[in-house]
Amino acid sequence: MLQTFSFSVLFGILTLCLSVAAASFPDPLKLSGSAIIHDPSLVQRASDGKYFLFTTHNRGGILTATNLAGPWTSVGSILTKDSVINLPGKDDIWAPDVSFHNGQYYAYYSVSTFGSQNSAIGLATSSSMDPGTWTDHGQVIASKTGAQYNTIDGNLVVDENGAPLLTFGSFWSNIFQIKLGSNFQSTSGSPVQVSFNSTSPQPEEGAFVWKHGSFYYLFFSSGTCCGFDANNLPPAGNEYKVFVGRSSSAHGPFVDKSGKDLRKTGGTLVLASHGNIYAPGGQSIFTDSKSGKDIFVYHYVPVNSPKPYSDEYSSLGLNAIDWGSGWPVLTSI
């Protein structure tokens, strides 16, 4: 989720920009109708195969569909009232991260305002994901102005020892992890940095960790995510895009395909702008039981819309993942 800065400062990592320019990417799955979303989390309910899509805003908006291609229908929100976390932004939660553990669904959400470190990650749980069934448990971790990190964009992963681990962060020294207790809410120890882009303004956020084979893959978004002016776009390659590193441990250290540590401005490019797809990011992954494929889920800003390059029309992107090389390569669905 975006933390607004003056993005006149170039991110300017030449090797990454060259990679963006040289790469080609498949278009996302064509949807029936539209799904206006941001920072999507997509989960398929095991009991009936229904798809639940969660989004920033609307207190954690929920859309559902019986087919991955839609049509997607807005059915409500995770929270029926403001978050119990008493911070600015409690009425407009961001970046829900939803997954199933111990017989229930866990939704980690962010409370903050643009450009602020006065932030918190909260937790809500449900047995079904249906609107009106979620219980808000409140704060998991928080940050204040001057902290090393910013506590938004939480993502839950269970590590190689079966212990829950929360990955989070946006700008301000980028991506961190903290251990969670068996209740998936209490924390232990101090946050540990796992990814860092040294180029001002340190534009990494939206981390997501996914286990495949013998590796844990840390995905993150980097660049300007939103607030675009069609007449004054950032330099090509400085808009949102997705990178990845991997490790044999959920705790890292994570390295990219060339062996560069993510804590040293590393990252292998997964997805960037192409065609009608601009500034893709806010990614997550789920395994579709119907196809057996891992599906890469993200938002993008459509170039062709009633307001070109406007994130008012931020849309759902879906691609399959080919893991054949040991690294994620996006394919058409």
Residue tagged active-site, from 39, 97, 204, 256: 39
Q: Is 312 a catalytic site residue? A: no
Q: How many helices (H) and strands (E) does the chain have?
A: 1, 20
Q: Is 136 a catalytic site residue? A: no
**Hey, what are 159's tokens?**
């590590």
Outline where DSSP puts E strands in the chain: 41-44, 51-55, 61-65, 73-77, 94-101, 104-111, 119-126, 135-143, 155-158, 164-168, 175-180, 187-195, 204-212, 215-222, 241-247, 268-271, 277-287, 294-302, 315-322, 329-331
- Determine the Cα angle at 50 with ends 44 and 51, to 5°: 50
- 253 vs 269: CA distance, rounded Å: 18
CA dihedral 246, 273, 70, 1 (to 10 degrees): 60
What are the strands of the beta sheet with 294-302, ordered from one edge?
277-287, 294-302, 315-322, 329-331
What are the strands of the beta sheet with 268-271, ordered from one edge?
204-212, 215-222, 241-247, 268-271
Residue tagged active-site, from 205, 256, 261, 311: 205
Nearest to 26 by CA among 314, 209, 272, 210: 272
Residue with tokens 């669905």: 333
- Determine the Cα angle at 190 with ends 177 and 209, to 5°: 5
| Residues with a known catalytic role | 39, 205
